Structure 1
Amino acid sequence: MTTLTDFTAVLAHWEAQRPDATAITFGGSKWTWRELAARVRRNAAAQRAAGLRPGERIAVLDFNHPSCLELTLACAQVGTANAIVNFRLAPPEMVYVINDAEARLLFVGPEFAGAVEQLRAQLPTVERVIRIGGPDDEYEAWLAAQEPDAEPCSAQPDDCFVQLYTSGTTGFPKGAMLTHRGMLAHARNVALDQEMGPDAKAQVAMPLYHVGGTSYSLVAISQGARIAMLRLPDPAAVLDMLEAEKITHTFLVPALLAMVNKVPGAAGRDYSALKRLSYGASPMPLPVMRASLALFPGVMQQVYGMTEECGVVSVLGVADHMDPSVAHRLVSAGKAIHGVEIKICEPGTGEPVPTGQPGEIWIRSEQRMSGYWHKPEATAAAFTADGWLRSGDGGHMDADGYLYVTDRIKDMIISGGENIYPAEIERVLVEHPCIDDVAVIGVPDEKWGEVPKAVVVAAPGRAIDVDDILDYCRQRLAPFKCPKSVDVVAALPRNPTGKILKKDLRKPYWEGRERQIV
C-alpha cells in the first residue's frame, strides 16, 4: 500500500485483493469492492460524457449517501474534484459555495431538490442537476448509461479530488483543496495510530461535507476496511449499528455522544467489537466525558485536527483516558500522530515559545491541503515558506509533549462540531438598523460545547428588541450559526488601536472553566 500514490490505484488494489468482500453497507444495501469499483468507473465515464475536464468541479448537496463517495472516487479517476456542500447552510450560503466551486454538475438528495429548484437561476455554472435517491432518482440511470471507464487519468500526487469548505474570517467560506498526497498521508497516519486494517468495520455517522465524514471514509477505503454508513447521525441508529454490525471503529462529535448517552437502554447493549471510539471537533463537557467513558470503557480517544490538514493531527489515546493518575490530560488534545509535527509559535514573530507558554499552534505534515481554491492570498497567509500551517488556534505544549488547545487566534467558535466564524454573523447583524456596533463570541453550552452570543450596542435613538434580532439572524443564517442569546451593552471594549477586546467579553462566561477545544 505504501507505493500507491492516488485513490484510483487504492480502489483497484482492493478490488483485486478482496473482490467479493463487502466495501460499503447503507440502509439495508451493500456493495462489494468489485461492485464499488465498477460503479466508480461508470461514474467516471459519465463525468467525461458530460464534458468535465481535469481541474473542474462537481458539487453534492445531500445527507450521507454512498453516491457521494462514488463521486469523490470517480473525480480521482477523471482529475476533477468533488465540492461537498454543507447541507446545514442557509440558501444564500449554499449558492455562494456552489458558485465559488464553479460546479458544472450538481447532485442533490430528495430533501434538497425543492430548494435547489428555487435557487437554480442563481447557479450560472451548473449545467445539470442530478437527483440522488427517492422516487425521482436520476443518478442510477446516469450511471447505467455509460460503460465503465477503463482509462483513468494520470493523477499526480498534488491533484485535488475533494474540496471541503471551511468558514472564513472575512465571513465567506474557503474551499480547501485536498489532494491524493494529503489524503493518503492522513489515511496512512490515522490508520497506523488507530490500528485499522482490512478486518475493520468503520461506522461513518458524521456528514460527508466534514473531514470527520469524507476523510474518515477514505481512511477506511485506503485500508480495505468495510464502511457502514448512516444517512443522518441519529443517536439511536448509531447504537443499533454499533451492536448489529459489530463496528470496530467510529468517530462521533461530543454533541452526538451526549445524545447517545441518553438513548434508553444504551448501557445494556453489546459494544464488545468496538476498538476505537474517536471524538473531537468541538469541546467535550466533562459530564458527557464521564458518561461516555462509563458507556464505552477502554476504547475512547480524543482527536484534534482541521480541514486544511485533511483531518486528524493529534490524538489523546485510550490509555490517557483510563489512567486516573493523568486525569489532567483529559483537557489536552494529546500528542501529534505519526507523520505530523506540531510546535507552538508567537503569532506575531513566528518564533517558537518556551515549553508551557501560550502561542499559536503550527503544524507540518504531508497531510496538508494544496491551498484554498481561488484564494492565493489566503493560502500564502496560511503557510510558511518551510511548510508550516498556521492553524489559527492558540495553545501550549507541556514538557511531556501533550498539546493543550486553549483559545482561537481567529476567534472561531466550534459548536457541536461545526466551525463558526464570528465575522459571518457580525456581517449580518451590522446591517440591522437598530444595531450600531456588534461582537460575536462563543459562550459555554452543556449540549453543544459552546454557542454564539451576540453583544450589541444600540444605534442612536433606537431600542434593541432581542427577539427581533434573533429572528433577523434566523432569516439570513444557517440555524447553527444563529446567536442563541443577545446582550445589550453601552459600548464594546477596545484597545488603543480600536480593536474589540473579545477576550474581555468572553472572560466572564468562561471564568472557572478549563476550556477544552478539540
Structure 2
Amino acid sequence: MKPHDMGVLFDECADRGHATAVHLDRPFDIAPDGGTHWTVPQLAALVRESAGHLAAAGVRAGDRVAIVKENHWDYDLLACAAVRLGAVPAQLSAHLSGDALATLLARVAPKLLVTSANVLERARRADADLTAPSAATLVVDADGVPGTLGPADVRGHRPPAPVRRSDDAPLVINHTSGTTGVPKLVAHSTRTIIGKLARSECVRYPKIGVRRTDTLLNANSFAHGRTFCWTASVLCLAPARVVVLTTQDPLRADPLLRAHPPTFVEALPSAYVRLRPLTERLDNAFRNVRVFGSTYDAVHPPVIRAYLVASRHRSPLWMQGWGQTETGPLTFRFHTRTSDGGLGGPGVRNLGRPVPVRTRLRVVDPQTFRPVPRGRPGLVLARTGARALTYPGEEARWAAKQLGDWWNTGDIAVHRRDGSVELLDREVDHSSELSCLSTEDLLEERLPQALECIVLTGAEGPPLPVLVTADGRLDAEQWRAAVRGLPPLADPVALTWDDVPRTGTGKVRRSALLQQLTGVEGTGGTGRWT
C-alpha cells in the first residue's frame, strides 16, 4: 500500500487489516484516558473523533488549523484530522519562545488554534498572547480557560465526510529548526511530501527497508515535517510494533524500550546523545537493532560507534540522511562498525551521494553562483521534485533562495570526485580557518567525557569552543592535549546540557549561545541564506 490522502490514511490502513501495535511512553494529550497501547483501528477512530472536534470548533475546508502542544505523536493525528476536513494544519513546536510562536501564528492566521493549558500559560508569562491571531482556540486538556473552547465544548460532534483536495494544493505547514532566530514556515503539498517523499519510503529495500516483523522506535520532535512523512509511510509498511518515545530522559525511556526492544530506530541526534548511557548496560535495550536512522543535525562519531557496538546484530547499519524541511532528504550515507568513526575513509562529514534519480546537487561560488571545481568548498544548490511550495508569510524570502530549478540550501560543502558531498558547515557558521563540524568531531573523539562539543564563530578572535559535560567541568590538561595540532581556538567554556539553548529538535541555537556567552550577536558567515 502507498499513502495518498492523509485525511483517510488511518481508515484505509484499518480497513486493510494492518495489525501494527502502537506503544507510547505516555498517553496522548488528546486522549488522556486512552492508555498507552493502541491498534490501528483505534487510532483511525481517534482521528475521526478529532475531526469532529475540529469541525465543532468551526473548522471548514480551506481553513488553517495551528497545532501547538506538548511533544507527542498526536500532533500528526490532529494534522490528519484537519486534512480530513479539507483544512491545512500548521504544526508549531511548543519548544519555541512565546515571541517566536506569536510571530508564526500571525503568519499562519489560523481559523483555530489547538493547544494546551500549559503552553498558553508559558506564553502568557512571557507576555505573548497566542490566542490573538486565531478566530478560536481549543484547549485539548482543560475546560474553562477564559476565551477558549475545551474538550466538553466539542465532544460528541459527528465528523463530516472527508474532503478531497488537489495534489498540488497546500497540505501541511511545518517549520524549520530555527537555529538562527524565528523559524521559517514551510508549506508542502500532497505531491511533494507524500508523493515524492513518503511513497519512496514505502519500498521494502534490502537491508534498510522496514519489515513486517520489525519493532520501530521513533524518538522525535513530532511538530516537524519529518514525522508527518514518517506517519504516512509507517502506517502503510505495517511493522509488527511501533514504539513512540517523547522523552529523552534515559531513566524514563528504559522501561518502555526494555518491554519492546526495537529492531529499527529513528531518533533525533539529541535523543541519541541523551539515551547513550543505555547502550552501556549489560542487557541494553538496543541489542536487537539492525538499522539506526538519523537526520536533522550532525551526529558525531563516538555516538554512532556506541550504538553500533551496543547492537548484537551481525551487521547493524547507521543510516545518515542529510536534507532540509524544504526539500526532504538530499543524500544518504551508511556507517558500519568499521566505517563509523572516520578513523579511516571519508568520515561522518561525508554525507554520501545524492538520492538516485530524485536529487541533483551542485556546488557553486557563494558570490558568483558559478560552479566550482570538484574538491573545492562552495555553496550547495539542490534540485528535487520534492521541494516545498513556499514560506507562508515570507514569500520574498522563498523567492530569494530559488535559482531557476535550483534551491539554495545555505550549506557549505565540498563535492568530491566520487560524487559524494562532504559537509563543512552552515554558511552562517562557516569560518575560513576551519570547519566547525569537523573540529567538533575531532574534539569529541579526544574528549570522551564530553556529551557534545560546539565550535562557535562570529565573535572577535579565534572560534570559541563550548564543551557540554555531565557536571559542566573540563580538565585543563585534557583540553590542552585534545587541541594539539588543531587551528587556534579560544579558551573553552564548559556547560551542562541544560545550559545550552536548543531548538525543538535539540539543535544548538548557535547565535543565541554566542550571545549568551559573549554578548555578541555575530555570525561567521553572511547569514544571507538562513
Distance 1:237 1:136, change over 3 A: farther
Q: For the Cα contact (< 8 Å) 2:333–2:353, is it kept in 1?
A: yes
TM-score norm. by structure 2 comes to 0.72
Deviation at 1:72, TM superposition (A): 0.9
Identify if the C-alpha distance between structure 1 residues 203 and 32 changes in structure 2 by more than 3 Å, giving closer, same or farther. Answer: same
Give aligned-pair identity as a percent.
20
Call closer, same or farther: CA 1:501–1:135 in 2, change over 3 Å. closer
Cα distance, 1:103 vs. partner? 2.3
The aligned counterpart of 1:223 is: 237
Residues 25-52 of structure 1, C-alpha deviations (whole Å, 9 max, x = no match):
4525223222222222232233233332
Partner Cα separation in structure 2 for residue 266 and residue 308 of structure 1: 39
**Where in structure 2 are the equivalents of 1:45-444 lying within 5 Å?**
45-116=52-123, 121=129, 123-133=131-141, 141=152, 144-149=155-160, 151-166=161-176, 171-184=181-194, 185-192=196-203, 194-225=208-239, 226-263=241-278, 265-296=280-311, 298-310=316-328, 312-319=329-336, 322=339, 327-338=345-356, 339-386=358-405, 388-411=406-429
- One-letter amino acid of the counterpart of residue 183, structure 1: I
CA–CA distance in 2 between the matches of 1:121 and 1:254?
A: 32
Q: What is the distance in 2 between the residues matched to 1:187 and 1:401?
A: 25
Q: CA deviation at 1:126?
A: 2.3
Give the 3 Å change call, closer, same or farther, for CA 364–453 of structure 1 in structure 2.
closer
Cα distance between partner residues in 2 of 1:200 and 1:124: 45
Q: CA deviation at 1:400?
A: 2.4
Report the residue type matching 1:182 in the other structure.
T
86 and 488 in structure 1: CA distance in 2 versus 1, 3 angstrom threshold: closer
Distance 2:178 2:74 in 1: 28
Amino acid paired to 1:266: R
Whether contact under 8 Å (1:79, 1:159) holds in the other structure is: no
- In 2, Cα distance between the equivalents of 1:216 and 1:405? 25
Q: Secondary structure at the match of 2:274?
A: helix
CA displacement at 1:332 relative to structure 2: 1.1
| 1:14 partner SS | helix
Please point out which of 6, 30, 36 is paired with 2:37.
30
Cα distance in 2 between the residues matched to 1:299 and 1:88 = 31
Q: Which amino acid aligns with 1:269?
A: N
- What's the CA shift for 1:394? 1.2
- Preserved contact between residue 255 and residue 448 of structure 1 (Cα < 8 Å): no
Give the stretch that moved more between structures: 157-166 or 340-349: 340-349
| Separation of aligned partners in 2, 1:200 and 1:99 | 42
1:136 deviation in Å? 8.4
Give the distance between the partners of 1:136 and 1:321, measured in 2 at CA: 58
Shift of 1:237: 4.0
Letter matched to residue 401 of structure 1:
G
Task: Indicate how the Cα distance of structure 1 residues 141 and 182 shifts in structure 2: closer, same or farther if over 3 A, else same.
Answer: farther
RMSD: 4.0
Question: What does 1:451-462 correspond to in 2, within 5 Å?
Answer: 455=459
Q: Assess, with a 3 A threshold, how the Cα gap between structure 1 residues 142 and 456 changes in structure 2: closer, same or farther.
A: farther
Q: Which runs of 5+ in 2 are unaligned?
A: 27-34, 432-441, 445-449, 462-492, 494-498
Cα displacement (A) at 1:272 = 4.3
SS at match of 1:329: coil
How many residues are aligned here?
450
Q: CA deviation at 1:78?
A: 2.0
Deviation at 1:239, TM superposition (A): 4.4
Q: Is the 8 A contact 2:264 2:292 kept in 1?
A: yes
Residues 367 and 503 of structure 1, relative CA distance in 2, 3 Å threshold: closer
Q: Deviations over 1:202-249 (max 9, x none)?
A: 322121123454443343234334432223232344444343223232
Instruction: Tell me, in whole angstroms, the C-alpha distance in 1 between the residues paired with 2:92 and 2:355.
Output: 28
SS of structure 2 residue aligned to 1:399: coil
Note the alpha carbon deviations across 1:419-475, whole angstroms, 9 max, x for none.
xxxxxxxxxxxxxxxxxxxxxxxx988434426566379xxxxxxxxx9xxxxx999
Structure-to-structure mapping, 1:427-506, within 5 angstroms: 446-450=450-454, 455=459, 481=509, 482-483=512-513, 486-487=517-518, 502=524
Structure with the largest fraction of helix? 1
Q: Is the 8 A contact 1:303 1:313 kept in 2?
A: yes
| Cα separation, partners in 2 of 1:238 and 1:405, compared to 1, 3 Å | farther
After the TM superposition, which of the residue ranges 202-211 and 345-354 deviates more from structure 2?
345-354
Q: Does structure 2 conserve the Cα–Cα contact (< 8 Å) formed by 1:302 and 1:316?
A: yes
In 2, the alpha carbon distance for the partners of 1:232 and 1:169 equals 21
Which segment drifts farther, 24-33 or 116-125? 116-125
In the TM superposition, residue 69 of structure 1 has moved relative to its aligned partner by 1.6
Aligned partners of 2:216 and 2:242 also within 8 Å: yes
Q: What SS is found at the alignment partner of 2:54?
A: helix
Between 181-190 and 140-149, the greater mean CA deviation after superposition:
140-149
Distance 1:246 1:453 in 2: 41
Change (3 A) 1:65 1:172: closer
1:437: which partner in 2?
A: none
